[in-house]
Amino acid sequence: MAFRFKRKEAVSKAIRRLAIERLDKSVRELKEGDKLEAVHSLRKNIKKVRAILRLVRAEMGKKSYREYTDLLREAADYLAAARDAHVRLQALAALILHFDRQLAPRPFVHLKKALRKNCDVVSHELSKGKSLLTVSRILKRLSKKFLRLSLKKSGWAAVTPGIKCSYRSGRKTLAKIRRDPADENFHEWRKRVKDLCYQVLVLHPIWPEEMCALAEELKTLSDQLGDDHDLVMLSQAAEEVCLPEAARQEVSTLKGSIGHRQRELRSAAMRLGSRLYVEKPAVFCKKLGCWWDIWRHKKPLTHRSRPP
């Protein structure tokens, strides 16, 4: 089912439905599907559930919110090693493809071999160990817990503090990056962009054309920042992996390529982000609130039925 609200559905019911759908889907995939693909899908679903929890965080109460997010974090932590190993290998392949014409034939042979071996070892440990079973139990527990989720307010009043906070946090982090473009600040920005992207997706029906366009741009920004973070992880792995002395030049060449690619990604992200976060949070939230009211009480907005 689509990851979005329904027009006549209460916000609390929508949050419960969307979360349970994502969690139950992940449980099925862990049991039946390819393990690495299931891990990737699960971590994506966990981020979606976190984003919708943050959307209604103010109406849940601190204790309740912490209980849900602690369980989500626990589940994600069991899968972190497998996900990270896979991402480093993918990041290296993407980097080689991007600089195909500049690099020598068959570049980074030793590094690629070491990263692939690490990925195979971690994946084997994951499939043979009890981590996946433990994660499935956590997800089932969470799914049952969501059946009892309740909110203090309803309608747009339940949503507006969360969407405003997400937009404000992304805007503040962008301003922080302008002062200090450190790796961790770009990574923090990516998390805030991802939250807003998923929240915009669930709000898609309030004005499909506008929300779809906004979600696509936020996804582009999130992908740019995600690729940047993957390169940070790849750079760290290259320093830590055991390579023969004759292959140490690979690390030096890799570092140069990573630096070049990061400058491209960050420059593009800053341009796009500066445009997406140009509005003040109150203005952004008021605009969406106007669309919400018309959608809830009349009909979905189109370019032929613009709000006043």
DSSP string, 240-282: HS---GGGHHHHHHHHHHHHHHHHHHHHHHHHHHHHHT-S-HH
Would you call 232 exposed, middle or buried from its count of C-beta atoms within 10 A (0-12, 13-18, 19+)?
Answer: middle
State the pTM of this model: 0.92
Long-range contacts of 286-291 (CB under 8 A, 24+ apart): 288/163, 288/203, 288/206, 289/156, 289/160, 291/206, 291/207, 291/210
Quick: pLDDT tens for 275-305. Answer: 999 999 999 999 999 999 999 987 555 554 4
Locate the domains of the chain by residue range.
Answer: 11-297
Would you call 299 exposed, middle or buried from its count of C-beta atoms within 10 A (0-12, 13-18, 19+)?
Answer: exposed
Which of the residues in the chain have pLDDT under 70?
1, 33, 246, 299-308
Angle (CA) 95 100 104, round 5°? 105
pLDDT of residue 266: 98
pLDDT of residue 304: 46
pLDDT of residue 124: 85
What CATH number was assigned to the domain covering residues 11-297? 1.40.20.10
pLDDT of residue 308: 46
pLDDT of residue 23: 96
pLDDT of residue 2: 86
pLDDT of residue 279: 97
**C-alpha span between 9 and 45 (Å, rounded):** 21
pLDDT of residue 166: 98
